[in-house]
Amino acid sequence: MKAIVIFFALVAVVSCSDECYRDVVATCSNTLSKQQGVLTQCDAKYGAIENLEGDLQRFANSLLYRSFDFLLMATHYGNYIKNRAGFEKLFRGLSDDLWDDGINTIKYMTKRGARMNFNNIASELEQEKPSLELFELQAIGRALDIEKKLAKDAFDLHKAASGHKNDHHDPEVAHHLEEKFMEKHRDAIRTLAGHAKDLSSLLDGPDASLGLYLFDDYLQK
């Protein structure tokens, strides 16, 4: 009786086997395929990662693109003319954070069997003409807008992965976004909003130059 149960269990496993099993069987029974090593279905993809792959590629590219934006802003404020070490530190930190997020997104995609396409760039980034010669308050305002846009992109991706878009339901992608991205960028948005408010008040005071100097000194700490 026990042997019969085991037999039917094995039959069930074979009958319910996925595409990788059939690829292996076909490869082992075909000399040409065996030589070429064709196992097209034996990958790490599962869930809806294939349908979310393009969105993840665009998101990763946006993170890297904006990282360079912040790096250029840091360079602008770190030169001998501007000499704003505090603003340089602020924007370099934002640049490093987005670079890490972009690289981690790419690593996550490869863990799920997806591929990175550096040519898959959001249309608004391709059409945008960067303006980096900014005054300090305007630079913080632009940084805040960038962080909010990236947060919105993450929310849209999370919405799709949470099942609000046909064939895109993938709770593991949604969890990754929540754990690795959203909380950190919530704090970045709150910090930049506070900086914008504080600097605006200082520049509105009796000595704007002194206020700007003190604010830059504060950012260096």
List binding-site positions.
147
Annotated binding site for Fe cation: 147
HEC letters along the chain = CHHHHHHHHHHHHHHCCCHHHHHHHHHHHCHHHHHHCCCCCCCCCCCCHHHHHHHHHHHHHHHHHHHHHHHHHHHHHHCCCCCCHHHHHHHHHHHHHHHHHHHHHHHHHHHCCCCCCCCCCCHHHHHCCCCCCCCHHHHHHHHHHHHHHHHHHHHHHHHHHHHHCCCCCCHHHHHHHHHHHHHHHHHHHHHHHHHHHHHHHHHCCCCHHHHHHHHHHHHCC
**Nearest residue to 203 (alpha-carbon basis) of 213, 194, 193, 188:** 213
